[in-house]
Structure 1
Amino acid sequence: MSCSMRSLSEDEDRYMKSFQLFLECSSEHQCMQDFIHIMLPDILASIGTGKANVNVMGVGSGTGKIDLEMLAKLHLKHPAVTITNQVVEPSAQQIHMYKVLVSQNPNLDFIKFIWNKMTAAEFENHWNQNNFKEKMDFIHMIQMLYYVKDPVATVSFYQSLLNENGKLLIILVSGKSGWGKLWGNFRVQLCNPEISQYVTSGDIKAYMDDNAVNYQNFQLPSQLDITECFTEGDKKGELLLDFLTEVLDFSSSAPPELKARVLDMLRHPDCSKEVDGRVIFNNSLEVLVVGRGG
């Protein structure tokens, strides 16, 4: 990353604004909800069998909206069990929003929440230093492996926490998405490896294939309207560019030649298509599901 550019994750307020705009302009949450309602119940079918309590962990849970939808599906599948839910999230702002969401829902008395204001790496150190032996029945890592130093090692550690019938669910951008093409071309220029990584589902699948780890995978088609990114000075477009590149104030801090190349790539048919005069970015995701022993 150029010394004139800073990672978007260094400014939490700007990150949250760009993230919320991304959600408004994309179909990401809708495709996740479709997955949760249609495919997740079958994935969760075996994890609560014969148990009075199920241990769940969300790594990078954010504001909890997706977490609570998954917990509701788990409860429907196993209505007799209680749930202990470990929340691992470094952002105090997002944990607060998660707690507000919980407080607004009176029907969550079957869940015990344990809050861990930590990064995935900090939680791993905390777990190892305290020599915890507890095992998890369901761990989910949604769109968070970009923010760990070693995504493969992180997957390996959390997989090791699974119970015999436990499941680790990972959601990442697809290697065939516009993200995959963008970051494949501009990894060196845009990525600060101390803060964020270029990683797609393809990278994690390659690790699993190389290590004979069995997994299920599901494609989640998704798209993002990035039309305003091509209008100089458009505030909405600038926020979306920040989110797409993971660079704080990308429009003003990126060298002009790099900015022009990134915009050309975003408009390229490998990344986007034009529909009724709008530029629609391929934001497709992939779900990977793995058990304790692969």
Structure 2
Amino acid sequence: MDNLTRLSNNPRRYAESFDVYWKLCRNVGAFEHWINSYFPEKIMKEINLERGNKLMALGIGSGPGQTEIKFLKQLLREWPEITDTVVEPDLSYINKYKDLAVKKTELIDGVSFEWRQQTLQQFRQENQNQPVKKYHFIMAIHALYFFEDLPDVLKYLISILEDGGMILAMISCDDSCTSQCYEQMPQFKKNAYAISTRDVEKALEKLQIQYVKHRIQVNMDATSCFDGESKEGELLLDFLTRSAFFKKNASESLYSDMIKHLRSIVLPESKDGKSLLRCDCDAIVITK
């Protein structure tokens, strides 16, 4: 009998499993290149705010900040004064973000942070009776999985976007390993909204909002998932299934089916005894 619980209900376990997932992404270099080169050269220029003016940024579900900070670093090249509102419900993540920001000396003079330990819903409710505060750049980096009503969330984000501003959302591709898990193993859909690029595109089309999509190729080393004694493998399985302590709580048949499924999507270019999975994501860019 399966007794699966949502990984998102256990912030500490979620943080541990995400850290393992990120560590095992093999070609993070491609991701870094996209942020450090492609983003400033091709995308950032679409923000219609005079260079030198103060830029208002907003992060939704910012996590420990390791990705958002990279974008802020690029934005500082054009806008040397930034106010960044960080909306993140997990206090441990906020503290990690704060620690990371202090270590990035290039941010100290340029970025002022406003820390909001809240969900997006709480943020909206708190501000609904206040004058509308708008932003030039809104980041939703792998955060849209937690919202059931995507059209409503996207409509809200667009409503608080300045004219000439930009929303950057990153989401798993339809053929990424996580999306395939939800597609092939419907048991996990109750533990997270099974959202991928196609769902965001449908929501934007419903709202008649134009967007541009960019594919970022990332593979992940899933070898430890096939080692029944690996603590790392257990954490990675938690992240892929969005289930806390999946190995412990899943029935023997479900655990076996999950391992069998992962073996079926191992990339043919895997080598050196490593089992690689495709974890590509899409960057969806919306300008106003």
After TM superposition, the score normalised by the length of structure 2 is 0.91
Summarize deviations over 1:235-259 as a string: whole Å, max 9, x none. Answer: 1211111111011111121122222
Taking the TM superposition and a 5 Å limit, the aligned residue runs for 1:205-220 are 205-220=201-216
Q: Is the 8 A contact 2:151 2:206 kept in 1?
A: no
Matches of 1:28 and 1:15 in 2, distance apart?
Answer: 22
- Correspondence for 2:3: 4
Asked whether the equivalents of residues 238 and 250 of structure 1 are also in contact (C-alpha less than 8 Å), the reply is: yes
Task: Note the alpha carbon deviations across 1:142-180, whole angstroms, 9 max, x for none.
Answer: 011112232332122112111110000000110122222
Between stretches 147-156 and 236-245, larger displacement belongs to: 147-156
Q: Aligned to 2:194, which of 198, 201, 209?
A: 198
- Matched with 2:250 is 254
> Judging changes above 3 Å, is the alpha-carbon distance between structure 1 residues 244 and 136 closer, same or farther for their aligned structure 2 residues?
same
Shift of 1:89: 0.5
Contact 1:174-1:180 within 8 A present in 2 as well: yes
Provide the aligned length of Structure 1 versus Structure 2: 284
Residues 150 and 278 of structure 1: is their aligned pair in 2 closer, same or farther, counting only changes over 3 Å? same
CA distance in 2, matches of 1:205, 1:284: 16
Query: In the alignment, does 2:265 pair up with 1:278?
Result: no
Asked whether 1:70 is paired with 2:71, we answer yes
Q: CA deviation at 1:50?
A: 5.9
Residue 10 of structure 1: how far off its partner (Å): 2.1
Structure 1 stretches (4+) deviating beyond 4 angstroms? none
Q: Distance in 2 between matches of 1:50 and 1:10?
A: 42
Q: Which residue is 1:53 aligned to? A: 54
The letter of the residue matching 1:278 is K
Q: Secondary structure at the match of 2:77?
A: helix
The alignment's C-alpha RMSD in Å is: 1.9
2:202 aligns to what SS in structure 1? helix
Structure 1 equivalent of residue 133 of structure 2: 134
Unmatched tracts of structure 2, length 5 or more = none
1:18 aligned partner? 17
After the TM superposition, which residues 1-294 of structure 1 pair with which residues of structure 2 at under 5 Å, given as runs? 4-27=3-26, 29-41=28-40, 42-45=42-45, 46-49=47-50, 52-79=53-80, 82-107=81-106, 108-128=108-128, 130-187=129-186, 189-192=187-190, 196-269=192-265, 272-273=267-268, 274-292=270-288
> Does the CA contact (< 8 Å) of 2:2 and 2:250 recur in 1?
no
Using the alignment, how far apart are the partners of 2:27 and 2:61 within structure 1? 17
Query: Could you say what secondary structure the match of 2:67 adopts?
Result: helix
The unaligned stretches of length 5 or more in structure 1 are: none
Contact 1:58 / 1:141 at 8 angstroms: preserved in 2?
yes
2:44 aligned partner, one-letter code:
L
- Cα deviation 1:69-89 (Å, max 9, x = unaligned): 11111111234xx21111011
The percentage of counterpart residues that share the same residue type is 25
User: In the alignment, is the contact (CA less than 8 A) between 2:142 and 2:170 conserved in 1?
Assistant: yes
- Report SS of the residue matched to 1:15: helix
In structure 1, what residue type is equivalent to 2:241? Answer: T
Q: Retained in 2: the 8 A contact 1:121–1:148?
A: no
Q: Contact 1:178–1:272 (CA<8 Å) still a contact in 2? A: no
2:274 corresponds to which letter in structure 1? Answer: R
Offset at residue 13 of structure 1 (A): 2.1
CA distance in 2, matches of 1:119, 1:291: 24
TM-aligned CA deviation for residue 30 of structure 1: 3.4
- Are 1:137 and 1:167, in contact at CA under 8 Å, matched by a contact in 2? yes
Q: Does the CA-based 8 Å contact 2:218-2:280 persist in structure 1? A: yes
Give, in angstroms, the shift of residue 29 of structure 1: 4.5
1:29–1:91 distance in 2 versus 1, CA, 3 Å: farther
Equivalent residue of 2:69, what SS? helix
Letter of the structure 2 residue corresponding to residue 233 of structure 1: E
**Kept in 1: contact 2:31–2:217 (CA 8 A):** no
The 1:252–1:22 alpha-carbon spacing in structure 2 relative to 1, beyond 3 Å, is: same
